[in-house]
Structure 1
Amino acid sequence: MLLNAPRELSTPRGRFAYRDTGSGGAPLVMIHGWPESSYSWQHVSRHLDAGFQVIAPDLRGLGDSERTVGEAHYHKAELAQDVISMLDALGIEQFQLVGHDWGGIVAQEIALAIPERVTRLGIMNIAVINNLKGNMEVVNKVRSSGGAIYWYQHFQQAPGLAEAMIPGNEVAWLRYFLKGAEHPVPEDSIAEYVRMYAIPDTPACAANYYRTFNNDAKRWATLTDHVWPMPSIYIYGNRDKVIIPEYLNHIEGCFKAIRVVQVKAGHFLHEEKPEEVAATINGFFQPAPVAS
């Protein structure tokens, strides 16, 4: 099962792109993170159960979706509303949902906004937004170590730097992050992200994911009493140097039911170990029966 080439979709919120595996099957919405696009699910999709209908949006400012000027559009609750508008336009009512990196945050925001439509939730290598205790333990550890590994976040938060320095240097910029801990990210994926990042205004739009982070975090700090009601899974690439193990502390109290699965991989676990990640997805999410 492979994802189709990007399709364009206009909604009241803007012009977006998405990849899918065609109609039929149980809808499984898969949301990419930074600095990737919906193409990040291409290698996973090869190993997914044929009973899934995959819908993989390109988030605003990335992939082939519109490059929108202005930080306000990149608050994660706003990005969630973008995806919801796409699903509404596609006539997708109930669905299962998985997200990686910033896409995992957007997935949580979707599940927070419309929990009655999300039947199962998957999060991959990103913070659980209602886990204030665990996330504060991460902050304390990072502060004690100096936090040098997070330089790229501060770089992108600095006004004007990303848009001034990345254009023309997309290959070096992306290869720095996409090395992989166990296996390299596939070359076809890297070529796709280089193409995408060369689209005008992409460095600024991508940087807005980080420039809005502090305000997003203030809002998430108010969610400590929230418990995710739907069955959930956290799939963790345990060689990640940025999303460190402390992010997993105390997450059991954030979910009515949570399963944690570790994969021997780095941050981009779904690109490093697509077959293993797909097997985990197949084992937790629920495909529709396929006629033999």
Structure 2
Amino acid sequence: MTIPPLQRIALSTGVDLDVAIAGDPTHSPVILLHGFPESHRTWRGILPDLARDHYVIAPDQRGFARSSKPDGVEHYAADRILADLIALADHLGIDRFTLVGHDWGGAIAWMAALGRPDRVARLVIVNAPHPFLFQRALFDEPEQRKASQYITRFRDTRIDQGLVGAGLEKFLGSTFAHHITGAIGGEDKAAYLDEWSQPGAMTAMLNWYRASGVIVPAMDEDAARPAFLDRPFPPVTQDTLVIWGMRDAALLPVLVDDLGPYVPTLTVEKIDAGHFVPWEKPAAVVAAMRRWNI
């Protein structure tokens, strides 16, 4: 089975999303959220297996591929994107669902689990740090702070003008293919270059970083520590599976080490792969999910 043709869905939040949908609607629903700089294609090796016994939904999130790209950084704040998720579930008549997120999709998944436990029944996170532990690491873990300096570069709007034509080829090599074990080429490369070439796509995708409230201190900066880091943080109440590619150079394994107090019902599966583990080793991701009884 391959990923099905995309359906265009108009949401009550005012955006239209392209969405891959597969499986029997009477089966247990699973929503898959991709991260940067991808699309529903993140799940190309995972969605077909899950669709054998689940109703699977994989949107191109706002700003990505051919989904809507509203103007203005404010439209990419996490609460807007979370609203898209709930609106998509409502549109499809889905009440409670298993939520799976990678990278930025995982950031939204953490937020959804914490803020909408009435809708998120179970949680699967793939190489996406818990929001509290990530912000703490950016202050307390020098290696993670160093690894995250790219966020500051992505927030600089001056880079957008160079992300056309040959600039997209360079972007693919330095920020996507560079982090994937093995080559990316042929139809896969062409598909991503096509998605990134859509009008306004690169700015919209990067606006996710620009809208984020995460503080990334410079390496030599003595930044003011956010007060919430020294206060109790609410736990995730759902059963949670965290899958982590242990060779992730951007999000270091230290981000998994102290999850227990914040995720009381936790299973961790570590995979020998980089950040884009759903791309590199989809079979291992599926196997981890199946062991967890998804």
Residue matched to 2:75: 73
The Cα shift of 1:22 comes to 4.0
1:195-210 equivalences under 5 Å are 195-210=194-209
AA partner of residue 9 (structure 1): I
- Counterpart of 1:61 (choices 60, 63, 68) is 63
Distance 2:141 2:175 in 1: 22
Residue matched to 2:22: 21
TM-score, normalised on structure 2?
A: 0.87
SS where residue 226 of structure 1 aligns?
coil
Residue matched to 1:157: 155
Distance 1:212 1:98, change over 3 A: same
- 8 Å CA contact 1:121, 1:231 repeated in 2: yes
Residue matched to 1:261: 269
Distance 1:153 1:187, change over 3 A: farther
Residue matched to 1:93: 95
Structure 1 residues not aligned, in runs of 5+: 287-292
AA partner of residue 243 (structure 2): I
- Residue 281, structure 1, aligned to residue 280, structure 2: no
Query: 1:148-182 CA deviation, whole Å, 9 max, x = no partner?
Result: x4453222211x32321112221221232233453
Structure possessing the higher relative contact order (Cα contacts under 8 Å, 6 or more residues apart): 1
SS where residue 16 of structure 1 aligns?
strand
Distance 2:10 2:227 in 1: 29
Residue matched to 1:84: 86
The Cα shift of 1:262 comes to 0.4
The Cα shift of 1:226 comes to 0.8
Distance 1:186 1:276 in 2: 22
The Cα shift of 1:263 comes to 0.5
Distance 1:145 1:18, change over 3 A: closer
Distance 1:155 1:224, change over 3 A: same
The Cα shift of 1:185 comes to 4.8
Residue matched to 1:238: 246
- 8 Å CA contact 2:10, 2:16 repeated in 1: yes
Residue matched to 1:178: 176
Query: 1:17-75 CA deviation, whole Å, 9 max, x = no partner?
Result: 11111433211111000000011101222443611111011111002210111111111
Distance 1:119 1:146 in 2: 33
Query: 1:219-238 CA deviation, whole Å, 9 max, x = no partner?
Result: 98598421111100110000
Residue matched to 1:166: 163
Moved more, 21-30 or 70-79: 21-30
TM-score, normalised on structure 1?
A: 0.88
The Cα shift of 1:126 comes to 1.6
Over aligned residues, Cα RMSD in angstroms?
A: 2.4
Residue matched to 1:33: 35
AA partner of residue 16 (structure 2): R
The Cα shift of 1:88 comes to 0.6
Query: 1:235-291 CA deviation, whole Å, 9 max, x = no partner?
Result: 0000101100111131101112001100100000010001111111122243xxxxx
Distance 1:177 1:106, change over 3 A: same
